[in-house]
Amino acid sequence: MPASLESFAVLKGFNDDWKKRLEKNKHLIEYLQSLTKKRVLQLPELVVQLSRDMVKIKYPNLIYPVGDPVFIHIYTDERGNIKYHPIEPRLREDRDFIINEIEKRIAMAIDEKHIPKDKDEKEKVLYSILEKVVRKGSKTIVDKKKKKLILSPDDFERLKYELYCEKIGVSLLEPFIRDPYIEDISCSGLGPIYVHHKIFGTIETTVGFQSHDDLDKFVIKLSEIIGKPVSHRNPIVDATLPDGSRINIVFGEDVSRRGSNFTIRKFSGTPLSIIDLVAFGTMDPLIVAYLWMLLEEKMSIWVCGETASGKTTTLTAMTALIPPDAKIVSIEDTPEVRVPHKNWIREVVRSTEEGGSGITMFDLLKAALRQRPTYIIVGEIRGREGNIAFQAMQTGHPVLATFHAASVVRLVQRLTGYPIEVPKTYIDNLNAVIIQSAVHDPETGKYKRRVLSINEILGYDPAEGRFEFIEVFSWEPSSDSFEFRGLGSSYLLETKIAIMKGLSGREIRKVYEELDLRAKIIDLMRKLNIRNYWDVWDTIVWVHNVGLEKAYEKLRRQVMFKLGPQAIVEEPFIKGL
């Protein structure tokens, strides 16, 4: 082992893979050496992946990769605050001169006739030109007067990363975009940027802005990347980054007293699956089984909750439970919902621009009614498109949607009030409402997402002047568990789904037996660690094709072979069945 790496062999988590990473990334060695020179009391642990269990770590101090050559150091400072520090191969000396000089040379060498089609091709073109315009040597030599520039192999690699961030990526935000554990990135003005981490919650980063001029320049640059330049005339922009992340920009001190600000809601390449949500405790197998039955019978379900309660995540995970032969039309302000079905029409709002016309959610929803979809998915209902959604349900088009409301009562109040103004007698066209929230976990001090209740909408009673609904599932905070209250009282299972399945009043029990069987299938999938979104989809399609009984028996055998007979739950999930 090289002498420069010997000192790092004592680090917790150090192994051959980390040895290779260190050999390949000199900037990581330099960073670890800087920690040693600072005489940090505790050196970081090296980890490859983070786990949900790490939420219990009170004072984290670890480094993990987010794709070469970027690493993230999450540590606790002397005041007990958790910090987020990106470790990147940035140029150390004469950075601005080197980048400006190289950009001029690239501009002279680039062939304007050839326009790269995608990100990968753009990267190849950039690096091929870079090889032609940069002179390499054993060490870096910079002569600003003579415009002489020779780069060492290490500085050449650093330059490649710098130019990637500036020409293809998102500049200083690149590490945050690469990090799969980041949900939100926010800059509220001067000072540090903050991120919301899936494991450690909201964290202050070591990246930020110290002057309004630098912040404004960066915000303008960010808006140009997304193709919607901000200005004092047009200071607010909502758009999507190239990777699909949702961004909101507010420019200038006229609108925002603390100066320009931006918020990015990260886009996940592979969505969380419904089995992930079971593993995280957001819901349990019986809830998934219940939603599965409702979605197979074309019921309208809305996911409601406050901001950052995980509504869109749950809605996306639920789509895998819709029959595979369904035709789906999704309508959104910004594309967030993912659907695994092949017959999926994805429609997005077009904002009004000078010389053009805007296309609203209202317009798209009206158009969707003519496309004969099996399901209409509305990313988020805010305004009068809610009225059209209820007209769609009234004419037999089931609608899945998210909605800002913390309870069924609040949901109904917003639906029947301005500007949505749904007639009270139409409310029962919405079959079920999921109420979801981010709740405080006293054990970790962080927040976790939980389905607080699932409610079946019965309708409006004009005589009593009130809306009636049945709470079929509820979350018990003391035990962090879910209670099924619908046995013998579920309106949808007994009055609607039983009829659709051709069951008489005496055979109602079969509906609950099927519900329990589906819950067991979901539980077996969790035990077999079938959690990847696409693997879950493939398994659900397979279950749909072979039938519940055969699927259950095969999954049961797999669990017994892999985990032993003790892993099989013989008792029904439904108490009293």
The residue length of the chain stands at 577
- The answer to whether residue 551 sits within a structural domain is no
Total domains in the chain come to 4
Task: Give per-residue pLDDT as tens, 419-447.
Answer: 899 999 999 999 999 999 999 888 877 88
Instruction: Tell me how far apart the alpha carbons of residues 289 and 256 are, in angstroms, rounded to a whole number.
Output: 47
Same domain, 347 and 464: yes
pLDDT at 114 > cutoff 70: no
pLDDT at 206 > cutoff 60: yes
Indicate the average pLDDT of the chain: 90
Same domain, 134 and 249: no
Task: Give per-residue pLDDT as tens, 51-76.
Answer: 888 988 989 999 999 988 999 999 99
Same domain, 144 and 193: no
Residue 212 lies in domain: 169-267
In sequence order, the β-bridge partners of residue 191 are 209
What is the three-class DSSP state of 237?
strand
Instruction: Tell me how far apart the alpha carbons of residues 574 and 577 are, in angstroms, rounded to a whole number.
Output: 6
Domain boundary at 48, 65, 87, which? Answer: 87
pLDDT at 378 > cutoff 50: yes
Residue-level pLDDT at 4: 64
Contacts 24+ apart (CB under 8 A), 163-170: 163/99, 163/102, 163/126, 163/130, 164/123, 164/126, 166/99, 167/122, 167/126, 168/119, 168/122, 168/123, 168/126, 170/222, 170/225, 170/241
Instruction: Tell me how far apart the alpha carbons of residues 250 and 237 are, in angstroms, rounded to a whole number.
Output: 7
pLDDT at 493 > cutoff 90: yes
Same domain, 278 and 426: yes
Instruction: Tell me how far apart the alpha carbons of residues 251 and 265 are, in angstroms, rounded to a whole number.
Output: 18
Task: Give per-residue pLDDT as tens, 353-363.
Answer: 544 457 888 88
The token pair that represents 418 in the structure block? 């301005």
Residue-level pLDDT at 380: 87
Phi, psi of 121 (to 5 degrees): -70, -35
Same domain, 210 and 251: yes
CATH code of the domain containing 295: 3.40.50.300
Domain boundary at 213, 246, 267, which? Answer: 267
Task: Give per-residue pLDDT as tens, 133-186.
Answer: 888 889 988 888 877 889 999 999 999 999 999 989 999 999 999 999 999 999
> Which of residues 415 and 114 earns the better pLDDT score?
415
Residue-level pLDDT at 2: 55
pTM for this prediction: 0.83
272 touches 317 (CB < 8 A): yes
Phi, psi of 98 (to 5 degrees): -60, -45
What is the three-class DSSP state of 124?
helix
- The answer to whether residue 543 sits within a structural domain is no
What is the three-class DSSP state of 5?
helix
Same domain, 493 and 359: yes
- The answer to whether residue 574 sits within a structural domain is no
Same domain, 218 and 115: no
Residue-level pLDDT at 355: 45
- The answer to whether residue 193 sits within a structural domain is yes
51 closest CA partner among 366, 280, 390: 280
User: Alpha helices of 356-407 — where are they, by DSSP H?
Assistant: 361-368, 385-394
Task: Give per-residue pLDDT as tens, 16-43.
Answer: 999 999 999 999 999 999 888 776 668 8
In sequence order, the β-bridge partners of residue 442 are none
> Which of residues 117 and 356 earns the better pLDDT score?
117
- The answer to whether residue 25 sits within a structural domain is yes
Alpha-carbon separation of residue 296 from 99, 322, 398, 472, 497 (angstroms)? 57, 6, 11, 18, 10
Residue-level pLDDT at 351: 67
CATH code of the domain containing 194: 3.30.450.370
pLDDT at 256 > cutoff 90: no
Q: Which amino acid is at 419?
A: P
- The answer to whether residue 302 sits within a structural domain is yes
- The answer to whether residue 564 sits within a structural domain is no
What pLDDT band is residue 113 in, cutting at 50, 70 and 90? low
Does the bond joining 69 to the residue before it have cis omega, within 30 degrees of 0?
A: yes
Q: Which amino acid is at 322?
A: I
> Which of residues 575 and 302 earns the better pLDDT score?
302
- The answer to whether residue 469 sits within a structural domain is yes
Same domain, 360 and 479: yes
Same domain, 437 and 468: yes
Same domain, 65 and 118: no
Q: What percent of the chain has pLDDT over 90?
A: 61
Same domain, 468 and 489: yes
Count Cα atoms within 13 angstroms, Cβ side, for 419.
6
516 closest CA partner among 559, 560, 566, 576: 576
What pLDDT band is residue 241 in, cutting at 50, 70 and 90? confident
Task: Give per-residue pLDDT as tens, 91-104.
Answer: 988 998 999 998 88
Same domain, 138 and 26: no
Domain boundary at 506, 522, 550, which? Answer: 506
